[in-house]
Chain A
Amino acid sequence: AQSVSQHNHHVILSEAASLELGCNYSYGGTVNLFWYVQYPGQHLQLLLKYFSGDPLVKGIKGFEAEFIKSKFSFNLRKPSVQWSDTAEYFCAVNPISGGYQKVTFGTGTKLQVIP
C-alpha cells in the first residue's frame, strides 16, 4: 500500500525567506504526485502536480516541486515566501496502474510566515 511522509509538521519563516517542504512516498511503480494548499478558512486547492515529463514542475503563486524518482521524493519549494503563503500544505500520491484511483495524502505541513 502506498504512503506519504511529510517530515516538517510546522515551519515558521520570515517573509522573503526560501521555503522547502519535504515529501517522500512509498510505492514502487509509476505515480502521479500532487501538492495541495489549504489557506485558513478555505477549502483545499491544487498547487501543482506531476504526471510525467519534466521532473521540475511549476505551479501557482511561484511554487515549484521537483520529482526525484530515485529518492521517492517530491519536495515543494519557493524562493521567497510572503505572508499570504501562510497555510497548510499537503502532498499526495496516486499510483498509476490500470485506472487505479486511490489517492493518499500526507499529514500536512503548517507554514507560518512572519511579516
Chain B
Amino acid sequence: DGGITQSPKYLFRKEGQNVTLSCEQNLNHDAMYWYRQDPGQGLRLIYYSQIVNDFQKGDIAEGYSVSREKKESFPLTVTSAQKNPTAFYLCASRPGAGNTIYFGEGSWLTVV
C-alpha cells in the first residue's frame, strides 16, 4: 500500500541526547515536510524539502536538522539544542506545488 511511514511511533529519550525520527514515503512525492504539533499551537513547520538534496528551514528550525539524500526519505534529528523537544511530530509529503499534503501517523517524542 502507498503511504507515509513514520517510526518509531513512541520514543523516550533522556535530556541531552540526540534522537532521529524516520519518515519514509512510497508515493513518489517530490516535497516532504516535518511539523510539530503542540496543544493550542497547531502545526508548526520545522523543515521542508522540495527535491532531493535540498531543504529549507521552516518557522521553528532551531534545534532540529534534516537530510534528504533519497526521494523517499526525510529523517528528522532532534538535537540536544532543542529547548522543549517533547511533542508530537508529523511528517507529510505531496507530489508538488499546489497539491494536497498527505500526513503520516506521527511520532510521539518524550524527553525526560
Q: Which residues of B contact A108 (CB under 8 A)?
A: 40, 42-43
Is the CB–CB distance between A94 and B45 below 8 Å? no
Q: Which residues of A contact B31 (CB under 8 A)?
A: 101
Is the CB–CB distance between B103 and A107 below 8 Å? no
- Of residues 87 through 106 on chain B, the ones whose CB sits less than 8 Å from some CB of chain A are 90, 96-98, 100-101, 103-106
Of the stretches A13-21, A42-50, A61-69, A73-81, the one at the interface is A42-50
Number of B residues near A (Cβ < 8 Å) is 24
Bound CA–CA A108/B104 (angstroms): 18
Q: Which residues of B contact A101 (CB under 8 A)?
A: 31, 48, 50, 96-97
B93 to chain A, nearest CB (A): 11
Number of A residues near B (Cβ < 8 Å) is 26
Is B41 interfacial (CB-CB < 8 Å)?
yes
Q: Which A residues are closer than 8 A to B by beta carbons?
A: 1, 6, 9, 32, 34, 36, 43-46, 49, 51, 90, 92, 94, 96, 99-108
